[in-house]
Structure 1
Amino acid sequence: MAAAKLTTLGIAVLELLHERPMHPYEMAQLMRERHVDNRVKVKAGSLYHTVERLLGNGFIEVVDTQRDGRRPERTVYGMTGAGRDAFVERSTHLLGDVAEEYPEFLSGLAVIHELGRERSLRELERRITQLRARVAADRTVTQRLHDDSTPEIYWLDWRFTAARRAFELEWAERLLDELKTEKLPFVCEHEPKLVTEKENDERKTS
């Protein structure tokens, strides 16, 4: 795995190994505690696969094996010099380069007119309800981080996500208001007649 192709999950693993050698189960636990799934899709299978890839490419190495009672033996991994170099190079690009990203919400916004006023307002309200719940949860997590005196430098990724979600909520609420008050009117006078097959069948049977 070339440094330029080091995945974000690979970065997360090497990030933990900067602290100390550890086995994948411990990595998974720490990732849950630190909300790494906020920025990386973490599944047990993908984590173990990533560890194997890092090992195969010489970015990590086996430094110990541990056995706790009757539990299966656990392999402890440490980061190599090559891994540290790859980590620094890839992380530098992740921080400094502006990458093209394609949030699905943008595609939803692009088809609002085709969906029509009634459906669009309903779905925007549904999205706003979900966002409000998530923003409230974000505040709870942020408060806990402050209460635990966790240095903020360690959770800048979380701070960014919470701020972005709060911004999206504010923006969506403003859009909903503009659509409801017709400050932002639909161009066509008539409601677009986009219905799914399921909706069409329900209309026929009602």
Structure 2
Amino acid sequence: MPARPQPLTPLGMAILELLHEKPIHPYEMTQLMRQRQVDRRVKLRPGSLYHTVDRLQAQGFIEIVDTQRQGRRPERTVYAMTEAGRDAFVDQTREMLAFPAPEYPQYPVALSAASELDRQDAIDQLKMRVIALRARIAADEVVAKEVRDRELPVMYWIDHLYDHHQRRSQLAWTEQLVADLESGRIPWPDAKKPPPHPQLSIVDNEDTDDDKAS
């Protein structure tokens, strides 16, 4: 039985997505990703991009179709996507859309560790996060207005809408967490006795069958 092909990395997916449009060279890939803010969801460094391009070529997913030189600038290699690359991109897109994959964001790790801080220190850091999230959300709205004004189809920037929704949800949840900590609704751990487990407003609680019956 043949081995399962190595999955495309997020950066590899981003490169193949660009090559759906036209053959381009790695420098232009970098510029387009930054212009379209792809670097907000994919770790983008020049070294890693060139490494990924080399890997995609070795896998047969892209191929060299031209070289360009402008003035005294170094020669630039232009790549295009192969049929194998298109098939791999489509297959992985389907899989990623259909099945949730494990992800490892930093915020839950920080929340788990927060009780080791002083209570007010933790609250202060959460308030700083609230400020940062509000700024990112405002920036999202500026970008959304620009693309709407350009009348770009929504599916071309649906990933930005998803990120925006995630940030808004995280902001609302974090604001409520700060309020619960400041009010004492969520008590800070006491070294002398285990903390109680109150009904938390940061958790959605549905009525139980017993509650409905009473």
Question: What TM-score range do you get, normalising by the shorter chain?
Answer: 0.7 to 0.9
CA–CA separation in structure 1 for the residues paired with 2:83 and 2:5? 13
Q: Deviations over 1:48-103 (max 9, x none)?
A: 11111111111111111111122111111111111111111111111111111122
What's the secondary structure of 1:5's corresponding residue?
A: coil
Which whole-Å CA distance do the structure 2 matches of 1:21 and 1:167 have between them?
Answer: 38
Q: Displacement of 1:140 after TM fit?
A: 1.1
Counterpart CA distance in 2 for 1:181 and 1:8 is 42
Cross-structure match for 1:75: 77
**Counterpart selection for 1:176 from 175, 178, 196:** 178
Aligned-residue offset at 1:186:
2.1
Q: CA deviation at 1:128?
A: 1.1
Deviation at 1:183, TM superposition (A): 1.6
Instruction: Give me the identity figure in percent.
Output: 50
- Structure 2 counterpart of 1:58: 60
Alignment of 1:97-176 (within 5 A): 97-176=99-178
Kept in 2, the 8 Å contact 1:3–1:90? The answer is no
Q: How many residues align?
A: 190
- Point out the structure with the larger helix share: 1
Q: 2:90 aligns with which of 88, 111, 127?
A: 88
Given that residues 28 and 44 in structure 1 are in contact (C-alpha distance below 8 angstroms), is that contact kept between their aligned partners in structure 2? yes
Name the aligned partner's letter for residue 169 of structure 2: F
TM-score, with length taken from structure 2: 0.83
The letter for the 1-side match of 2:24 is M
CA contact (8 A) 1:66 1:76 kept: yes
What is the rounded CA distance, in whole Å, between the counterparts of 1:187 and 1:35 in structure 2?
41
Secondary structure of the equivalent of 1:61? strand
Q: Distance in 1 between matches of 2:19 and 2:80?
A: 6
**Match for residue 9 of structure 1?**
11
SS of the equivalent of 1:78 reads strand
Give the C-alpha shift of residue 189 in structure 1.
7.3
The residue identity in structure 1 corresponding to 2:87 is D
Displaced runs of 4 or more, over 4 A: none
Match of 2:22 in 1: 20
Q: Which runs of no fewer than 5 residues in structure 1 stay unpaired?
A: 191-206
Q: TM-score, normalised by structure 1?
A: 0.86
Note the aligned Cα RMSD (angstroms).
1.7
